[in-house]
Amino acid sequence: DAGVIQSPRHEVTEMGQEVTLRCKPISGHDYLFWYRQTMMRGLELLIYFNNNVPIDDSGMPEDRFSAKMPNASFSTLKIQPSEPRDSAVYFCASSLMGAQGANVLTFGAGSRLTVL
Amino acid sequence: RKEVEQDPGPFNVPEGATVAFNCTYSNSASQSFFWYRQDCRKEPKLLMSVYSSGNEDGRFTAQLNRASQYISLLIRDSKLSDSATYLCVVNGGGGSYIPTFGRGTSLIVHP
């Protein structure tokens, strides 16, 4: 299996521009998570999906952020308009719920976003 | 109180040393526990699960203390390649199995 695939790996954009991050989870996994990591705040859960359905988006910072999962093999995280404080590494992770609720995540390599 | 708390470190130890990290969690209904490792500029990866009876994987030992709500990771005979950030992860409770990550503990092993 190729693992969780994210694109782009690096993105540099100017404030106000739209940013779209993409994720292909591991085939057969039923959970997909979007995280953001910064030095100041660590790893923050933004939103997660179960069987393509958004379950909890309470971690999404504000209305500028949106996420979709149109099918089991693809998800997007969109920021519009982007701001410098959105600069971070965005990780996508997927998992298959195990026994007794064990939820072991496999992460993608991350998308490093810089907003100027 | 944060859901999962870790000492950020860094822990700076010589090769061959034994080092231990602790992590505390606030949700007493939490069901499962893990340690992840994150190398610089890389993604987190599962290091090991933590079982109630404690478990060992080579030089690594993980333990769970439900009464005091903490988990620990012991690394024996540290190697240079152990230098990384170690993330404590707790899976929900009360019907939620969503993992909550600690901020991580940084380990630097020097020659």
Q: Could you tell me what percent of chain B has a pLDDT over 90?
A: 77
- With bands split at pLDDT 50, 70 and 90, how would you rate the model's confidence at A10? very high
What average pLDDT does range A45-63 have in this prediction?
92
Given B49, B91, B104, which is nearest A42 (Cβ)? B104
What pLDDT is recorded for position A99?
Answer: 62
Tell me if B32 and A45 make a contact (CB, 8 A cut-off).
Answer: no
Burial B53-64 (b: 16+ CB within 10 A, else e): eeeeeeebbbbb
Tell me if B31 and A101 make a contact (CB, 8 A cut-off).
Answer: yes
Which residues lie closer than 8 Å to B18 by C-beta, 6 or more apart?
B74, B75, B76, B77, B78
Bridge partner residues of A88 (DSSP): A113
The rounded mean pLDDT for chain B is 92
- Residue of A34 and A62 predicted with greater confidence: A34
Distance CA B56, CA B61 (A): 4
By the 10 Å C-beta count (0-12 exposed, 13-18 middle, 19+ buried), A107 is classed as buried
- With bands split at pLDDT 50, 70 and 90, how would you rate the model's confidence at A67? very high
What pLDDT is recorded for position B1?
Answer: 60
**CA B39 remoteness from chain centre:** 14
SS3 B80: helix
- Residue of B92 and A82 predicted with greater confidence: A82
* pLDDT per residue as tens digits for the range B83-111: 999 999 998 766 667 888 999 999 999 99
Best residue of A105, A111, A112, A114 to probe chain B, by most B CBs closer than 10 Å: A105
What average pLDDT does range A73-91 have in this prediction?
97
What average pLDDT does range A38-47 have in this prediction?
92
The token pair at B53 is 């009876």
Tell me if B46 and A104 make a contact (CB, 8 A cut-off).
Answer: yes
What pLDDT is recorded for position B44?
Answer: 97
What average pLDDT does range B24-49 have in this prediction?
93
- Of A19, A21, A27, nearest to A2 (Cα)? A27
Contact A96, A1 (CB under 8 A): no
Given B42, B87, B97, which is nearest A101 (Cβ)? B97
Neighbours of A1 (CB within 10 A): 8
What average pLDDT does range B43-61 have in this prediction?
93
What pLDDT is recorded for position A62?
Answer: 84
